[in-house]
Each structure stands twice: as structure tokens, then as C-alpha cells.
Structure 1
Amino acid sequence: MTMLSAMLRSGEGRAGLVLLALFAALALTAPFVFPGDPLAISAPPLLPPFTDSAHPLGADRLGRDIAAELAWGSRTTLLVAVASALASLLLGCLVGTLAGFLGGWTDDVLMRLSDAFQTVPAFLLAMALISVTGPSLPAIVLAIAAGAWPQPARIARAEIRSLRERDFVASARVAGMHPLAIGFREILPNALPPVISLAAIIAAAAVLIEAALSFLGFGDPNRPSWGSMVAEGRSLLRSAPSLSLVPGLALVAMVLAIHLTGRGYAKALRVREPAA
């Protein structure tokens, strides 16, 4: 049974994958459905939703199409979520493998470095780094990853410490493999499943952190963002609640989709473990 089919057997996995597929389709089709600049003024200011077929979700107070911003904003959100999770897992696996396999002073130094990063809240660390580097999408991804890598590093370290005395590792040593080759080629692949399960947590946190940064004005000003859309409509909650409600609901749905997918993966992993 493949991991995907195992995930589809659970209700959470199916729901999460369907929601993520819808968001992915929205992000991929945004340039074709809404060509041009999504931040361009294209409608009367504060156009109500469902009153103009060309602008089904209405327009904000500057006359920008809400539907276009929502679709293009999904690209920003998904890109930040995926890139931050990948960067965090890659860095965490690198640090965890070195610490767990080499041990000794290497383990002590890397784990104390992990402790130092974990003492700072991820959002505050991201905001501080963005303040230094300036608001851009790569900077946001790196800032989020900087606060998220210690957890996968610790899990990878724990898994590798439990695997490094197995028979297949001893066989690799006898065969003359380099210690780093043993760690990354033989041990790390067997330690990956529990580390990958953190991807959903990191991605969901990345969505919320990026939205919060954009809400506070630390997001990329050249890209539509659901957080900046919420911030744009907060002063008009009484007269035009849809300006904040629509992107706010999109954020909730995105985080829910990632959470359900993560739960589906965790269930599929438990189902496959006895057969492994």
C-alpha cells in the first residue's frame, strides 16, 4: 500500500488533500483566470460582492479586484508554506544527522545552537530578521525557516541515535563507507518518516506567520497576500466586512487543509509501520 492510498483511506487525509488540491488549482490558474497585475485598480472603490460579474467578490477601497487578489495571494501563501517547510526540514535533517551520528562535541554544539534558536518565539525572530533584511519573499521564507528548524533537527537526532547501532550500519562500517556517507545515505532515509510528519505543522505555522507579517506591514509589498488583505479591510469591518472576511476564511481553510493532511499522513504512517 502506497502512502498516498493509505492517506486516502482516512477521512482527514481525503479532506485535507482535496482542499489542498483546490488551493493548488486556484494558485496555478490565477495567471490565466486573472491575467495582469492583481494589484491594479480595475473597479469602482468598495464595489460590493456579487454585483458585477467581472468582479464577483467586489473591490477594495482602492478599486482592486478582491477575487484576483485572493487567487494570486494563494500563490504567495502556498509558496511560503512549501518553501519554509522544505528549508526547515533540510536544515533540521542536516543538523540532526550530524549531531546524532557524530555525537561528542559536535552533538553538544549543535544542540546548544538549537536551544538558542528555540528560546526566541518564531514570529518575533521572523519579524526581527525581516526588519534587518527588508520585506521580500525569499527573506520571509528564510526568516520562518530560521525559527522552525530546531524541532525537526531534534527528532532527526533522536531517530538517528536509535538507528546508528543497527546491523546495517555496522555492515556499512565494515564495508569501509565514510562516516558521513553512512549517516546521510544509510541512516537518514530510515529516520525521515517521523521528521516529514512535522512538515504539516511547519507549513501551517508558516501560513499564519506570513499572514501576520503582511498584516503588520512586513510582507512583500509587490505580492498580494491574504494577511495584507485582512489589514486593508480592518478599518471597514462595519461597512464592508467582506474585505477582511474573505481572506480570513481563506486562511482558516488553508490551515485546516494542511492540518487534516498532516493527520492523514500520521494515520497512514501508523498503518504502514507494522508492515515495515
Structure 2
Amino acid sequence: MTLSEQTSTPTAGIDAEAGLPLTTEPIAAPLRDRSSERSGWRVFLAKPSTRVFLPIILFFTVVSIFGPFFVGDPITAGYPELLPPGSPGHPLGTDQLGRDFLARLVNGGRVSLLVGFSVALLCMTIGLVVGGLAGYYGGVMDAIMVKLAEYFQVLPGLVLALVVASLFGANVFFIVIILAITMWPGVARIVRAESMRVSKLGYVESSKAAGFRGARIIWSDVVPNVMPPVLVATTMTVGRAILIESGLSYLGIGDPSRPSWGALLNSAQSYMRDGWWLAVLPGACIVLVVLSINMLGDGLNDSFNPTVGRVK
């Protein structure tokens, strides 16, 4: 046998019973198909609703992040009376104390969006940890995590916010924590259901057979494949958090030193007749942001779950 023949069949052997050459080839582990995920993002970005509402969210986000550096002081009172929009030096007028309303609106947007995205990020993080552990391991771990989620799900967020505000004072940090504590179970339920499904797929079973630890499998295989529905749920959480925070601020539970759009609505109650812009402008901002986020969430759901809601 020549050297080339020896190197061409390195794993060749002889079957003792049949007398035939037996070759063994390495078996490739099943690979995850990322094409459907990429296709979902392409469908989402091509939707007309995405092209309309995504720029709106980006506009409010950019203005809320960088706008306070270019507008005036939202606290300094420059005039003792209301000034209508279009007044010299005040494009959106002033409030009842003579404070520039454009500066207060921009800074209020920073607080509202900060609360919304912070709550959504915390809910997604807690939901991935709790739901991923419950769905992957099952059994006793699943029962413990489900009971934990049910406990936090029944907590009344508004009452809890009132109690915390009375004990520690109204603060944006406490509002974010309270909203995250009461809203994460919804995300965890979706993560748990998806983790139970993904943990039965071939590449996860191959990782288990290869001897990888559960934490590594959850992080590298389970979590990336449950993210599309989790992102949809997280997107909806942003809108809910903004609405709830606006409602709390409207009731006077918000941080008085950092007023949000809801706090601006609260302070405009007594001036609806003489200063209509004090209520219309922050209310329009809340409506546009929440509507855009919900429409983008629906677009994500339709893109990654095209069969949901379809008539068969």
C-alpha cells in the first residue's frame, strides 16, 4: 500500500463478520439555523409601521439624551406669568412660574424614557434568569420559580409605590425598582415557555451529551434562541412602564426634583384654560412614544411569529 492510499483512508478497518472494509467518519453536531432570525429582522425593518414609528422613537431618544445640554434651565423662573408658545426666547412658552417649558419638556422626556427603558431592561434581565432556569431544569426548580413569579405578580404596584413614597420619599430610583419588581413575571413566563421548547431541540441535546454544564448551555444555546419573543415582551414593557410612571407622577408620587411628562400634566391641571400647552404638549409626547413603542412591538411579533393570529 502506497503512502497516498494510507492517508486517504485513515479510519478504515475490516468488519470481522462481513469481511468488508469499515470506515468511520466524524459526525457533525447539528448547527443552529440563524436564517429565520435574520429574515425576521429584515421583515421587521421593511414594514411601513417600522419606517414610520422607529424614527419617532429615535427622535425622542436623541432629544432626551442630548437636548438638555442645548436648552435652558428647567428650574429657573424667568417671568412671573404665563407666556404662550412662540414668545421671544421661549419657543414653547413658559409655565405658571415663568419657567421655560421647552426645557422642562425635554428634561421630562429624559426622565420618562429613562424609567421606561430601565424598567424594561431590569424586567428582561430578571425574566431571563428566572424563566431560563425554570424552563431548562424543570421539576423542583420550575415549581420554585413559578411560585416566585406568582408572588411578585400579585403585588399591587400602585399601592406599593404609595407605601415606598411615604416611607422613603418620591424618587426615580425607587419608582424604577417598584415597577420592575411588579412587571418582570410577565417576561419570565414567556422565557420559561420558550426555554422549555428550546431545551428539547437537537443542538441542546447534543451539548448535554457532550458534557457541557447547564449554565453554559443556558447562556450559549437557550438564551440566544428565546430572545425574539422576549424582545417583543420587553418592548411592550417599555410602553407600560412609561404609562404607569406618568400615572404615578400625575398623582403626585413622582420625583419633584426631576419632573417627568406625567408630573408636567399634574402641574397643568389648574391652568388648562389659560395655559393649554402645559397639558397638550406632554400629553402628546406620551401618546406618540407609547403608540410608537406598541406599534413596533406588534411589528416585531408579526415578523418573528408570522403564524400568530392568522386564520387557518
For normalisation by structure 2, the TM-score amounts to 0.81
Show the counterpart of 1:241: 276
Q: CA deviation at 1:132?
A: 3.8
- Give the share of equivalent positions with the same residue, in percent: 35
Q: Which amino acid aligns with 1:42?
A: G
Shift of 1:3: 5.6
Q: Measure, in 2, the Cα distance between the counterparts of 1:261 and 1:147.
A: 23
Q: 1:7 to 1:112 in 2, by over 3 A?
A: same
1:227 match: 262
1:44 is aligned, of 67, 80, 89, to: 80
Q: 1:250-269 residue pairs with structure 2 within 5 A?
A: 250-269=285-304
CA contact (8 A) 2:68 2:103 kept: no
1:2 shift after superposition: 6.3
Equivalent residues in 2 for 1:2-21 (5 A)?
A: 5-21=42-58
Matches within 5 A, 1:203-218: 203-218=238-253
Mapped to 2, the partners of 1:100 and 1:130 lie a distance apart of 36
Separation in 1, partners of 2:58, 2:93? 25
Cα deviation 1:206-237 (Å, max 9, x = unaligned)? 11111112122221222131111111110121
More helix by share: 1
1:81-137 CA-partner distances (Å, limit 9, x unpaired): 111101001001100011111222221121112112222344334444444443222
2:268 aligned counterpart, secondary structure: helix
Find the residue that maps to 1:149 and give its secondary structure. helix
Change (3 A) 1:233 1:254: same
Residue 140 of structure 1 is matched in structure 2 by 175
TM superposition shift of 1:264: 2.2
Would you say the 8 A contact 1:7–1:14 is kept in 2?
A: no
User: Residue 108 of structure 2: which of 69, 73, 84 is its match?
Assistant: 73
Structure 1: distance between partners of 2:164 and 2:144: 23
CA contact (8 A) 1:43 1:65 kept: no
Given the superposition, is the C-alpha separation of residues 126 and 6 from structure 1 closer, same or farther in structure 2, using an over 3 Å criterion? farther
Alpha-carbon distance in structure 2 between the residues aligned to 1:106 and 1:271? 32
One-letter code aligned to 1:45 = E
Greater RCO, CA 8 A, separation 6+: 1
> After superposition, what is the alpha-carbon deviation per residue over 1:63-93, rounded to whole angstroms, capped at 9, x for unaligned?
1111110111111111111111010010011
Question: What corresponds to 1:117 in structure 2?
Answer: 152
CA separation in 2, counterparts of 1:261 and 1:181? 32
The question of whether the paired residues in 2 share the 8 Å contact of 1:14 and 1:264 is answered with no
Counterparts of 1:111 and 1:229, CA distance in 2: 39
Question: How many residue pairs get matched?
Answer: 271
Query: What TM-score, normalized to structure 1?
Result: 0.91
Q: Which blocks of at least 5 consecutive residues in structure 2 are unaligned?
A: 1-37
Distance change in 2, residues 1:206/1:33 (3 Å):
same
Match of residue 27 from structure 2: none
Q: Equivalents in 1 of 2:47, 2:235: separation in Å? A: 16
In angstroms, what is the RMSD of aligned CA positions?
A: 2.0
Q: Does the CA-based 8 Å contact 1:135-1:218 persist in structure 2?
A: yes
Rounded to whole Å, the distance in 2 between the matches of 1:106 and 1:206 is: 29
Structure 1: gaps (5+ residues)? none
Q: CA deviation at 1:272?
A: 11
Runs of 4+ in 1 over 6 A off after TM superposition: none
